Amino acid sequence: MTAQSVHVPNAMQHYDSQTDLALQQFKGRLSENRAARAQEMCERASEMAQQRLAAILSGGQLRPTGAPVGAGQAGGHLLAEEGAEDPEHPVSNCAGQPLQLQHALAGLVDRDGLDAMVSALTDGGRDSDVRRLTELRHETVSSEWLWALDPRAPASLEPDAYVAAVRLRLGASFATEPLLCRACRGTLDPSGYHAFCCAPGESTRGHNDVRDCLFDLARLADSTAEREVLGLLDAAPGLRPADVLTSAASPGLTSALDVGVASPDAANAGADCAEAMRVRKRATYARFLPALLAEGVEYRPLVWSCWGREHPDTTAALTQLARQAARRRGASDYRPLLRRARARIGAAIARRAAGMLRACMPTQLRE
């Protein structure tokens, strides 16, 4: 501007002072830890902006060059992940993309608002809602089914199931007062949380959908993977501990993966419903575990909460399967395979929730 005889005295100082004031006001709305995080984000964004400006002025490259392989190289930009064009989609912030400062700062505000909401619900004695939010905010919960509106998408839900699953996720009431559960003749609360502990038919159907998603990932990693295997022990030929039997989940062992979906509102859920179910499953097969291990078979319960949170053992098994599948396919990065598997499992769990609620709702309201 100065070179073109347009001189604004102290323009940059004025701009910087306004920006600093805005940042201080923004940080004042946040908790101490998140205010410090906001400061770090802005400083990092400033450094990156300076680097981009220097690259532009020197005529250099804004992105690293190289062979079309590997993270961060040219090949990483040939084809964007599905959904990356939507700034609200979970993959829009995936590794390798430029920092989106506005989106990151808005995330800090959202998390502060969520903390305040949880505190208000806790003070109001709404424990089921607190448990729902605690489960949903976990990093392993896949929300991609919310964007899968195309019926041909692998993680898509049927329209009626989609509406019910979204309402359950939001904690929206389905009635103004408790109802008579059609499945067990017990009490169905207005928010529908009782359904996660009822409707055995839909629960089993949803369990099988999750099993099939796990099996599809296992087959990518191990072409010999099998479902619902009988006869693992001669002493107990009817024993069926494996929803999925595969050699790709644990090095040197064959893993009998047993799928489970648990509700934090169940009577025996404890502080962690997924861990409580894992312990129960192992107790069920406890007397057979030494004999299975002697045959080279490791029994591994893989448990999700009914909101999609993974137990740490589940996360470890899925990650190992995705890594092995990526190696077999010659892919440099296992994370896209893991993300797609989680998206399908998340959709199966959401569909299961909608089906269980539909089975519990009185007929006239369900229609």
The DSSP call for residue 298 is E
Kindly report whether the global pTM for this prediction surpasses the value 0.85: no
Q: Which of 50-54, 62-66, 197-201 has the highest mean pLDDT?
A: 197-201
The reported pLDDT for the residue numbered 281 is 95
pLDDT at 75 > cutoff 80: no
Of residues 71 and 39, which shows the higher confidence score?
Answer: 39
pLDDT at 333 > cutoff 50: yes
Of residues 123 and 76, which shows the higher confidence score?
Answer: 123
CA distance 152 to 166: 19
The reported pLDDT for the residue numbered 239 is 82
- Across 224-251, average pLDDT: 87
pLDDT single digits (tens) 180-211? 999 999 999 999 999 999 999 999 999 999 99
CA distance 350 to 344: 10
What average pLDDT is seen over the chain?
Answer: 88
Query: What do you get for the CA distance between the two ends of the chain, in Å?
Result: 67
The reported pLDDT for the residue numbered 270 is 93
The reported pLDDT for the residue numbered 81 is 67
For residues 220 and 318, is the Cβ–Cβ distance under 8 A?
A: no
The reported pLDDT for the residue numbered 93 is 55
pLDDT at 74 > cutoff 60: no
For residues 177 and 166, is the Cβ–Cβ distance under 8 A?
A: no
The reported pLDDT for the residue numbered 63 is 62
Give start and end residues of each alpha helix (H) in the chain.
11-27, 32-58, 101-123, 127-136, 159-170, 200-221, 273-284, 289-294, 312-329, 335-360, 363-366
Where do the domains of the chain lie?
A: 29-55+90-125, 159-366
pLDDT at 123 > cutoff 80: yes
CA distances from 55 to 3, 49, 66, 123, 322 (A): 21, 10, 17, 53, 37
Q: What percent of the chain has pLDDT over 90?
A: 69
pLDDT single digits (tens) 12-45? 899 999 999 999 999 999 999 999 999 999 999 9
Q: Grade residue 61 by pLDDT with cuts at 50, 70 and 90.
A: low
Q: Grade residue 96 by pLDDT with cuts at 50, 70 and 90.
A: very low
**Helices 335-360 and 312-329 sit at what angle, rounded to 10 degrees?**
130
- Across 55-75, average pLDDT: 61
pLDDT at 219 > cutoff 70: yes
3-state secondary structure of 302: strand
Of residues 4 and 25, which shows the higher confidence score?
Answer: 25
Out of 11-25, 88-102, 277-291, 305-319, which region has the weakest mean confidence (pLDDT)? 88-102
pLDDT at 102 > cutoff 70: yes
Q: Grade residue 79 by pLDDT with cuts at 50, 70 and 90.
A: low
pLDDT at 272 > cutoff 90: yes
Q: Grade residue 98 by pLDDT with cuts at 50, 70 and 90.
A: very low
- Across 61-72, average pLDDT: 53
Q: How many CA atoms lie within 13 A of 10 on its CB side?
A: 4
| Dihedrals phi, psi of 139, to nearest 5 degrees | -65, -20
CA distances from 117 to 105, 121, 133 (A): 19, 6, 9
The reported pLDDT for the residue numbered 230 is 83
pLDDT at 344 > cutoff 90: yes
- Across 122-146, average pLDDT: 95
The reported pLDDT for the residue numbered 286 is 92
The reported pLDDT for the residue numbered 78 is 54
**Helices 11-27 and 32-58 sit at what angle, rounded to 10 degrees?**
150
- Across 275-299, average pLDDT: 93
- Across 337-343, average pLDDT: 95
